[in-house]
Amino acid sequence: MNIAELTARLHAIRDRNDWRQFHAPKNLAMAASVEMAELVEIFQWLSEEQSRTLPADKLEHAGQEIGDVVLYLLLLCSELGLDMEQVVRAKLADSERRFA
């Protein structure tokens, strides 16, 4: 995944639609949370086994919601001046250190 390319493409969509005015960090964090809730809704009331073996339509829907969450997080990083890859690598290194 080329994060810079994805972010540039996302910015092009944002700019073409004049959405930056709505992309304050607080709004992007809330939007990511809403999309995460939509992802959670797919799994609501499923057993653990059912959640591991989603039918094709639900699996596709889950992928769409995951994509929404990731895109909002890319925009949030951009607005905050954070490098997504650096943030993720730092957190992974911290987890490796803490839980190794």
CATH code of the domain containing 39: 1.10.287.1080
Domain carrying residue 65: 3-99
How many domains is the chain partitioned into structurally? 1
Say if residue 1's pLDDT is above 90: no
Calculate what percentage of the chain has a pLDDT beyond 90.
98
Say if residue 30's pLDDT is above 90: yes
**pLDDT number for residue 75:** 98
Among 68, 78, 74, smallest CA distance to 34 is for 68
Segment 44-92, tens digit of pLDDT: 999 999 999 999 999 999 999 999 999 999 999 999 999 999 999 999 9
Q: Where are the alpha helices (DSSP H) in the chain?
A: 3-16, 25-43, 48-52, 56-80, 84-99
**What number is the average pLDDT over the span 17-31?**
98
